Chains A and B, each alone.
Chain A
């Protein structure tokens, strides 16, 4: 009985933390005149980065370690959820001089 209660509580806590992670915040990065702004952002695991492309040409946000490659069409926005802690350096494949950095903190 006691074990079941502890089990239920820990399950509830686990569910709550999972929900919190899923409902992570959105951090916006704007793209204007061939630059990411802000260049560096800090977020937590479970947060989502949203790139808003104000330029009239397509861009990508491509992790240098190859973990993800997000296409951001001209005048559109695109998102990527962060799944692990660490530092992610990214760039635009089409215009490699465009670079950005995300510091991802543990939950």
Chain B
């Protein structure tokens, strides 16, 4: 319960950071959107790899394994697309905010082990996916100029909603 509340709070801050930064900077460019989307996926892959090192729970491990596969697949698509479009992903304050927030969360998770790690990791995955989905739907997708990038982001939202549901299912079974 404590972790869940912490995660929701962290998610609220993260969402505020994501949207406020995007708004402050005006509409993000496709190069910035590609960077934000790639960074969001990359951070989740890294978190999943830590979970695969630490967790012994088969459901948590299966979930983390799927996070590595799915987010790597999405990011490979994104990289292939930006290459085709001749766009160079551009670092920006939103990406930097994501890296900072997730870095802090991962530092918290690193201190935990066993069932308390499993619960905190899965709760954070629910919160993190919610945040990324909201940022995609509210800011990134409406701002994307290129139709193929927009379409990839829309597919990404569907995949990430699946992850959120998957994480919620596991979270409900963890104590």
Please list the residues of chain A having a beta carbon within 8 angstroms of any beta carbon in chain B. 33-34, 55-58, 74, 92-98
Chain B 158-175 interface residues, beta-carbon cutoff 8 Å to A = 158-159, 161-163, 165-166, 169
B166 touches A57 (CB 8 A): no
Please list the residues of chain B having a beta carbon within 8 angstroms of any beta carbon in chain A. 62, 66, 69-70, 73-74, 77, 155, 158-159, 161-163, 165-166, 169
Question: Which 10 interchain pairs have the tightest Cβ spacing?
Answer: A95-B162, A34-B158, A96-B165, A94-B66, A57-B70, A57-B73, A56-B73, A97-B165, A97-B162, A96-B166
Residue of B nearest to A32 (CB): B155
Q: Other than the known A34-B155, A74-B73, what 16 A-B pairs have Cβ atoms closer than 8 Å?
A: A34-B158, A55-B155, A57-B69, A57-B73, A58-B66, A93-B62, A93-B166, A94-B70, A94-B163, A95-B158, A95-B161, A95-B162, A95-B165, A95-B166, A96-B166, A96-B169
Q: What chain B residues lie within 8 Å of A58 (beta carbons)?
A: 66, 69-70
Residue of A nearest to B167 (CB): A96
Main secondary structure, interface of B, reads: helix
Question: Bound complex: CA of A57 vs CA of B158, how far in Å?
Answer: 11
* Known contacts A34-B155, A34-B159, A94-B66; A57/B165 CB under 8 A: no
Q: What chain B residues lie within 8 Å of A55 (beta carbons)?
A: 155
Question: Bound complex: CA of A98 vs CA of B69, how far in Å?
Answer: 18
A94 touches B166 (CB 8 A): yes
Q: What chain A residues lie within 8 Å of B165 (beta carbons)?
A: 95-97
Q: What chain B residues lie within 8 Å of A74 (beta carbons)?
A: 73
